[in-house]
Structure 1
């Protein structure tokens, strides 16, 4: 039985149903956004770390908007990357584009050996609160 208190969001990518998960879930005043990646509306990954990171944040923004939230409502993010040096440099730029004040976000960045899709360089999961 579906918990009536939960609300969900999707981006309508084929892997949502195939893998079986929600892109984002709201329960009470908290929203958990599943790991997002740098794909466009057609599911195609952009090239390069900075482009993928910028698109990843854009996808997070779409999901937050579906719950009437904005980037400033994010309280935590975990960033998974395949290359720390390029991710760290990209985050210096893109973090300031996405967040009104990145200094108000608890952030962790972790290097991993691989991610879900071939060519995927980054994945970001977030938690937001009203």
Structure 2
């Protein structure tokens, strides 16, 4: 079996600027790059308000940002015939762990449709993300049945 890669992108400007694919499938595994809360035109959804030093002043947009990030991941998964049911691992990179834990526990249950999503999950506090208004970024790994998806 070859290691042929299939890729998917969302068409946002930073794909070209940074030079990467939003998602890559090799065999039965789909790797989804860190997703942000942007709409189809690349505009950030629920951007955090920044202080005079360019840092978020509060984390109330966390829930909206997480929700939109899952919406974007679902679009990418669909490019490979996959859904959130195929996700086996996710990593949330956040600027504020307590607000992400509260918002994430609600949104994750909503998105996966169960109170205990069968997904290995990591929640990691970081000092900055790609855009100052972003307070969360989520990467995903999914495994599909290649025979069924073909």
Q: If the TM-score is normalised by the length of the shorter chain, which range does it land in?
A: over 0.9
- TM-score, normalised with respect to structure 2: 0.82
- Once residues 88 and 110 of structure 1 are traced to their aligned partners in structure 2, the CA distance between those partners, rounded to angstroms, is 10
Among residues 61, 71, 79, which one is paired with 2:84 in the alignment?
71
Q: Is the 8 A contact 1:81 1:122 kept in 2?
A: yes
Q: Is the 8 A contact 1:72 1:100 kept in 2?
A: no
Equivalent residue, structure 1, for 2:67: 54
- For the residue of structure 2 that corresponds to 1:41, the secondary structure is coil
Provide the aligned C-alpha RMSD in A. Answer: 1.3
Equivalent residue, structure 1, for 2:127: 113
Q: Is the 8 A contact 2:3 2:27 kept in 1?
A: no
- Once residues 109 and 118 of structure 1 are traced to their aligned partners in structure 2, the CA distance between those partners, rounded to angstroms, is 19
Q: Is the 8 A contact 2:35 2:73 kept in 1?
A: yes
Which structure 1 residue ranges, 5 or more long, are not aligned?
A: none
Among residues 63, 69, 88, which one is paired with 2:101 in the alignment?
88
Equivalent residue, structure 1, for 2:28: 29
Equivalent residue, structure 2, for 1:44: 43
Moved over 6 A (4+): none
Q: Give the superposition deviation at 1:100.
A: 3.3
- Once residues 46 and 16 of structure 1 are traced to their aligned partners in structure 2, the CA distance between those partners, rounded to angstroms, is 18
- Once residues 31 and 99 of structure 2 are traced to their aligned partners in structure 1, the CA distance between those partners, rounded to angstroms, is 26
Q: Give the superposition deviation at 1:4.
A: 7.2
Decide which structure has the larger Cα Rg and report it: 2
Q: Is the 8 A contact 1:53 1:91 kept in 2?
A: yes
